[in-house]
Structure 1
Amino acid sequence: MGAVATGTPTGRQTVRLPAEVTSFVGRRHEAAEVKRMLSASRLVTLTGAGGVGKTRLALRVADEARRAFPDGVWLAELAELDNPSLLAQGVTEALEIRDHSSRPAMDVLVDHLRDRQALIVLDNCEHLLEECARLADRLLRAAPRLRLLTTSRQALGTAGEQSLAVPTLGLPDPRGARPSLATLARYDAIRLFVERAAAIVPGFELDEDNRDAVELICRRLDGIPLGIELAAVRLRALSVQQLLERLDDRFRLLTTGSRTVLPRHRTLRALIDWSYELCTERERLLWARVSVFAGSLDLEAAEAVCSGEGIEREEILDLVAELVDKSVLLREEHRTSVRYRMLDTLRAYGRERLAASEEEAVRLRRHRDYYRGLAADARAALFGPAQVQWFTRLHLEHANLRTALEGSLADPGQAVRGLDMAADLLYHWITSYYLGEGRRWLDQALAVCAEPTAARARALWTDSWLAVIQSDTDAAAAMLEESRSIGTRLGLDPVLAYTALYSGMVAMYRGETRSAIALYEEAVSRHRAIGDPVGLALALIRLSLAHSFIGDSPGAIALGEESLAVCDAYGEGWHRAYTMMALGVDVWRQGDTARAAALEKESLSFNRSLDDPLGIGVNLEVLAWIAATDRDYTRAARLLGALGIIWHAIGAPLSGYGHLVHYHEECEAAARRALGKPAFNAASKQGARLSFTEALGYALEDELPSEETAAGGRPSPLTPRESEIAQLVARGLSNKEIASSLVIAQRTAEGHIEHILSKLGFNSRAQVAVWVAEQHRTADAEGEHPPEDTV
């Protein structure tokens, strides 16, 4: 590529950067963050996996910042420099320094830059890391107005360095709602593919026919720009669908690149080979072994699965840190833990290496055994103070749990253990959005393990509860009958206790209240006898609801209070929240709406912290009924509107509490009568438009979002003040600058930023900037306001 020379009016400035031959897509706010960092630090390093776009981002920032460096902006490409002793000489040549003396190249470089206000981009430092660190230190000490922008798989590790991990290009959250075509087209990974595809196939556009394939291609390539560009080239010979189908063999497929770029950038494999060769033998071994994990992993899992045969357990921590430094593993902060994730492309490469080493089966077995043990430990700790931590951990480990289940059920000799694991995960299936998946795993395991064993009996009553929640009571009744039969034959008291409990749920759903009460009483008696607090609390909750349903308020309250006592004795929270819900129902029926609302909101607060959709749904139901009783029919209609989204996500209204449906119907009818059809529909739609977070805020605090949002604008979880500060963060202002701009204390500004990061689930200011950009792009596309430059 040619060089661009740009002069200032004085003729002093020189810019030696390669011209862009393709469009620069995305990175607007990462660029803003790099500029901010350059203003605060004289050494900034862009880190990230190979092909993620570190060089393009550095060159774009350098070009946009050129006016701040009157003595020049220069690029020193180091990828092809193999001899560390020639580093200073290579940089000297890149800066076009003409010196024919016998002085060392480093001295020449220092003298040349000593009084200059310049920016040097050192590109691809990873294979000369120590030498680059020494060079940077020497130059920055000698030249006080010099700034360095470096790209590397890992930071240089020198004093004063700031680093930014360059993320892959943005894609929609796979767990979220399916975006519109217009919204999908605004994601940077999609934009890059479409632009490069249009250059290969004139007239190529994103449309409803190809959108899913394009999104999956970009997702399978982790949003890595190089992978996307190499994939787009293949459209010369393949359709989008054919390209997607062949991505399993991605390293062979993606082998065509521009002849003008570095050889290792012409194929995806060559690029990753480069990263692999930069690792030590033990780091390569860990890379291969970590590839058996799906999603993410924590240090404990890495130690359990990856140690032995060449890596001691105590070495794992240091090796993980090295792979994080080399951008092979990505570090993810969670509330109480740190986890690690590997890009899918790097995982596929590692898996190939693992298979070639002939230890793939060993590591898969250790992975499977570890996660089966994790599921069993979670089940044992279900009823106690560590409950929420376990629920949260299982949610984070869902992909690994799924892999372990697949491995167990695919091996006939391990299928029974897979059946046990699926049953151990009962509360994981119920307190998350994996209800349907949990039932499929149990159905599959039961089909494989047909012997009438204790494991089958337990899996049957476990599966029956999921069926009840899905309103499939016929299937639940059949499973409970078989489970009870096995339990009776084998003398399994716990099985008989649980089959009585869940049979009571089936009876209650069918309107057989007296029969249900008898079954619940049997369950309470049996669980007391065997000393099972989990089953006892659950049976007491259901029995309390049943007594409330027949108008026996004293009985309902007494049973609820007994359930609270059981939960409190063990420091348990989830069953306690459901007990509060049950008590709220009866207190509401007695007419004490204020106390009932307080009980439901206390329950909702816990269920929100756990992100339990079923518990949240029931809480919102009761709060809607309370609002109608208080004649606040608009609030009731809004809550009913929000509930429609939640029940649709779960798959059944009032899942598992079908006998309460008539309260829902009475509430809706009362609100319709009082408001009239147009006003009811408007309020209901207003509730349905609320985001999940907004709906919970409205239920707990009776606060609607701003008028713009309520009328259909873009929802924001931030307060107006937090939104204002987020805008300033996106513009690259420091905490001190934000405080000065808003005339507030710096500590106050820092507190607001912490709240913003927490609400958005982010770990860095750069992520906030990207989020702000997305809000502006969406608003601009919808014509809500003119776009604002936040760089």
Structure 2
Amino acid sequence: MQRIGFPTFTTPLIGRDADVAALVTRLRQSPTRFTTLLGPSGTGKTRLSIQIADRLHAEFRDGVAFISLATLDDPDLVIPTIARTFGLAERGSLVYEEALVQFLRERQYLIVLDNMEQVIEAAPHVIGLLSQTEQVRVLVTSQQAANDPQEEVIPIPPLAIPLGGGSVQIETISMSPAVALFLDRIRRVRPEFMLDHNNALHIVEICRRLRGLPLAIELVAAHSDKLRPADLLLLLRNYLPAEQNVGAAPAPEQVLHPVLDWCISYSIPAIRWLLPRLGVFQGEWTLNQVQLLANEAPNTIDIAKTLQAMVAKGLLLSNAASEEPTYSMLDTIRQYAARQLKRNAQLDHACHELHAKAFQQLAIDIDTGIRQGQGMVWSKRLNQAMPNIRSALQWLYQQQRYSEIARLISSMVLPLFQQGYIREGLSWIARIGAQAASFEPEIQLHFGYANGLLSYAISDYPSALQAYDAALTHAKTLGDLDYQARLLNNQGMIYAEQTNYAAARQAYEAALTIRQQQSNVWGEAIILNNLGSVTQFQAEHQAAREYFQASLAIYQQMGDQMSQAVSFQNIASTHLNMHEYAEAEHLYRESIAIHRQNEESPPLIMALYGLGLALLRQNADERRESGEVLHQAVTMAARLNVQRSLAIAFEGFAEWLATPNPEHAAYLVGGAASLRNACDVGYSAVSWRDITSLREQLDHSLGQAERQAAEATGEALSQAELLLLVSQA
């Protein structure tokens, strides 16, 4: 059972035991699968949702997932954000909604969507997703209900507070949830603090003025390290009037904003100086990014120490577990800081300017890191930085600085492509496309390349080729050989997808000539590999092997282990296609040994698939190992949700299954065809030869009409049903 994305807190949840128990019982009994915990800022909905998820974790076979929506302001980003949490991507015609349905249909998850109020319009899409699953539940925290018939709304009140005035009963007062929270938090800054007859009524009155809001109580307690409750109450009276209707849920400006005003007024000057400037950030950010933003800080301010002080006071959250420690704000505090920043128009503009520059540079660094082979580290940084990158893009758009948006999108197009922010990138390209003709030629070149790559990712080949053609004209005008090679290579990939292999080879060969002129061995190796693939698609296996071997020699010279692994399996595939099964087996095993040193990946799936076929075709009587290896390929493809590889793996397992159970083998062939169609994956000459041979074998066992009927049945089976066939075999 997985536990995905849950934040950690250094303090316990106080005063909500009864609420958690009641909510867990209600969720267990309720037939509704979309539940909203409704309440204003500061009521502790997030902590409640996490506690509920922890209690229910064992009851969901596949696990629980926590997804914060606090940094989103576009409802269209909600489904992609959920999908990326599960490692899903959209490729070809498979959009995020379809990928999510396929992934969740047979799974059992509890998904927590936190802070949904600003994207509440996405609720019908989430509910629609649930309608296509049977065992998935969604728990939402929000300040606004979706008002959907399929939504169950549970109001979350503030913490209960004892009545003020009258006689002091210490035991009764200390058991009050609001007072218990205050005592726990104040003892974290003043361990010696004791509740007694002298301070009890003052604490009750403080909690009443704070309306029982957990966040307000925590902030006031954290700032009370040197104040007696009586003095604290005296100061708070200047900010918060006595409130009779304690049980009602207040708006943030009624309690939380005055409390923050008091906290800031009582804070050290460095905090008062820094807090508004932090309002420019979204999501998580690092010390270095704050220092770039605060480069004009007075000499008396130590940024690192000030951030630590803000964490201690509850104004910031710190994540020290990440490779580079990051900071974030609760959304209520971030909104307050942003409002403070906007009061000074000049400072607001200066901070956004510095923020945009900082994340423009980070986007370039991320792209460079990924191109240098450090994909895992820098991809994580991209996902972490995306809320701030979106914010920078939005601010640049408001300033009508369209060429800077084009530069930013272009500088990070490969990370966007690899991490699945494809339609989001295309959306920005469409928004500024009308201004593209006014950009500098270099920006037009990069912008066209970005447009082409992202269009290619969703199989919009006409748009991709049009964008690449325009960009190639700019590259030739500028004499930019690097981009000429990139563009020609990418055009070759599109032609290969369209099975126009002659055009693909022509484009690849032109790109290879440029890379050789540049002495760019890395680029040369990539294109040699692509030439090998397209040549193999044309069933010229010996020529393909020579290209793959030339590519392998470069990777060996460079010491690139993972690329060597891919080259080994590519060379192995040529042996497989030429019926040289022992040679194929040897190279596939070499490839798999390297792949297994790293995480599971699509290349490893295909290496397992190839090894399984090499073993099966080498000696059909020795079926045990080939079946185990092909089964691994299928289950890994399903686990990683790589639909393209899963279709091919199903076909490989069908070949293994054809002798003992031809009907089930035909089911798998039909299911694989359905998957290929959904992913826009056609058959190469080699794969079509293999599937035709398999069908002939099945026709011999079943009869052509029966085989076709079984394939039709397989096309209608769900992915889970197809996987069950494999596991039962």
- Place the TM-score, normalised by the shorter chain, in its bin: 0.5 to 0.7
**How do 1:125-524 and structure 2 match up within 5 A?**
170-171=112-113, 180=130, 187=139, 189=141, 207-208=149-150, 259-261=244-246, 267=252, 269-278=254-263, 279-310=267-298, 315-332=302-319, 336-358=323-345, 359-412=347-400, 414-450=401-437, 451=439, 453-524=441-512
Kindly indicate whether the alpha-carbon contact (under 8 Å) linking 2:452 and 2:468 is maintained by their aligned counterparts in 1.
yes
Aligned AA for 1:189?
T
Say if 1:540 and 1:56 are closer, same or farther in 2 by CA, change over 3 A: closer
Say if 1:447 and 1:273 are closer, same or farther in 2 by CA, change over 3 A: same
Shift of 1:547: 1.3
Shift of 1:526: 0.6
Say if 1:484 and 1:317 are closer, same or farther in 2 by CA, change over 3 A: same
Distance 2:696 2:351 in 1: 60
Say if 1:172 and 1:273 are closer, same or farther in 2 by CA, change over 3 A: closer
Instruction: Name the residue aligned to 2:652.
Output: 626
Say if 1:349 and 1:636 are closer, same or farther in 2 by CA, change over 3 A: farther
Say if 1:56 and 1:187 are closer, same or farther in 2 by CA, change over 3 A: closer
Say if 1:324 and 1:564 are closer, same or farther in 2 by CA, change over 3 A: farther
Distance 1:257 1:574 in 2: 67
Shift of 1:573: 7.3
Kindly indicate whether the alpha-carbon contact (under 8 Å) linking 1:460 and 1:479 is maintained by their aligned counterparts in 2.
yes
**How do 1:779-790 and structure 2 match up within 5 A?**
none
Distance 2:420 2:468 in 1: 24
Distance 2:468 2:442 in 1: 13
Aligned AA for 2:358?
Y
Shift of 1:374: 1.2
Match of 2:536, SS state, is helix
Kindly indicate whether the alpha-carbon contact (under 8 Å) linking 2:366 and 2:415 is maintained by their aligned counterparts in 1.
no
Bigger drift between 419-428 and 602-611 goes to 602-611
Instruction: Name the residue aligned to 2:86.
Output: none
Aligned AA for 1:653?
D
Say if 1:664 and 1:489 are closer, same or farther in 2 by CA, change over 3 A: farther
Shift of 1:54: 11
Instruction: Name the residue aligned to 1:729.
Output: none
Aligned AA for 1:626?
G
Kindly indicate whether the alpha-carbon contact (under 8 Å) linking 1:540 and 1:560 is maintained by their aligned counterparts in 2.
yes
Bigger drift between 485-494 and 675-684 goes to 675-684
Distance 2:534 2:562 in 1: 20
Say if 1:229 and 1:340 are closer, same or farther in 2 by CA, change over 3 A: same
Shift of 1:368: 0.8
Aligned AA for 1:436?
R
Deviations along 1:720-756, one digit per CA (max 9) or x if unpaired, are xxxxxxxxxxxxxxxxxxxxxxxxxxxxxxxxxxxxx
**How do 1:534-683 and structure 2 match up within 5 A?**
535-567=523-555, 579=567, 582-583=570-571, 585-591=573-579, 592=581, 594=585, 599=591, 608=600, 616-631=642-657, 652-654=679-681, 681=713
Instruction: Name the residue aligned to 1:51.
Output: 43
Deviations along 1:564-584, one digit per CA (max 9) or x if unpaired, are 444455565776676566556
Say if 1:611 and 1:408 are closer, same or farther in 2 by CA, change over 3 A: farther
Match of 2:473, SS state, is helix
Say if 1:618 and 1:539 are closer, same or farther in 2 by CA, change over 3 A: farther
Aligned AA for 1:51?
T
Distance 1:306 1:188 in 2: 36
Instruction: Name the residue aligned to 2:719.
Output: 687
Shift of 1:297: 1.8
Instruction: Name the residue aligned to 2:183.
Output: none
Kindly indicate whether the alpha-carbon contact (under 8 Å) linking 2:542 and 2:574 is maintained by their aligned counterparts in 1.
no
Deviations along 1:13-45, one digit per CA (max 9) or x if unpaired, are xxxx9999999754799xxxxxxxxxxxxxxxx
Aligned AA for 2:316?
L
Distance 2:697 2:272 in 1: 64
Aligned AA for 2:405?
G
Kindly indicate whether the alpha-carbon contact (under 8 Å) linking 1:639 and 1:687 is maintained by their aligned counterparts in 2.
no
TM-score scaled by length of structure 1: 0.52
Kindly indicate whether the alpha-carbon contact (under 8 Å) linking 1:601 and 1:619 is maintained by their aligned counterparts in 2.
no
Aligned AA for 2:386?
H
Distance 2:307 2:521 in 1: 41
How many residues align? The count is: 501
Shift of 1:545: 0.6
Match of 1:187, SS state, is strand
Distance 1:667 1:392 in 2: 44
Kindly indicate whether the alpha-carbon contact (under 8 Å) linking 1:456 and 1:483 is maintained by their aligned counterparts in 2.
yes
Instruction: Name the residue aligned to 2:182.
Output: none
Deviations along 1:258-280, one digit per CA (max 9) or x if unpaired, are 83428996645522432453343
Shift of 1:513: 1.3
Say if 1:604 and 1:471 are closer, same or farther in 2 by CA, change over 3 A: farther
* CA RMSD in angstroms, aligned pairs only: 5.4
Instruction: Name the residue aligned to 1:70.
Output: none
Shift of 1:453: 0.4
Kindly indicate whether the alpha-carbon contact (under 8 Å) linking 2:211 and 2:246 is maintained by their aligned counterparts in 1.
no
Distance 2:379 2:693 in 1: 33
Match of 2:323, SS state, is coil
Aligned AA for 1:437?
E
Distance 2:242 2:535 in 1: 72
Match of 2:141, SS state, is helix
Aligned AA for 2:460?
D
Gaps in structure 2 of 5+ consecutive residues:
1-13, 27-40, 53-110, 117-121, 157-206, 214-239, 605-636
Deviations along 1:104-142, one digit per CA (max 9) or x if unpaired, are xxxxxxxxxxxxxxxxxxxxxxxxxxxxxxxxxxxxxxx
Kindly indicate whether the alpha-carbon contact (under 8 Å) linking 1:620 and 1:639 is maintained by their aligned counterparts in 2.
no
Deviations along 1:510-569, one digit per CA (max 9) or x if unpaired, are 332122112101111212322445543432232111111122223323323433444455
Distance 1:19 1:382 in 2: 45
Say if 1:268 and 1:51 are closer, same or farther in 2 by CA, change over 3 A: farther
Instruction: Name the residue aligned to 2:612.
Output: none
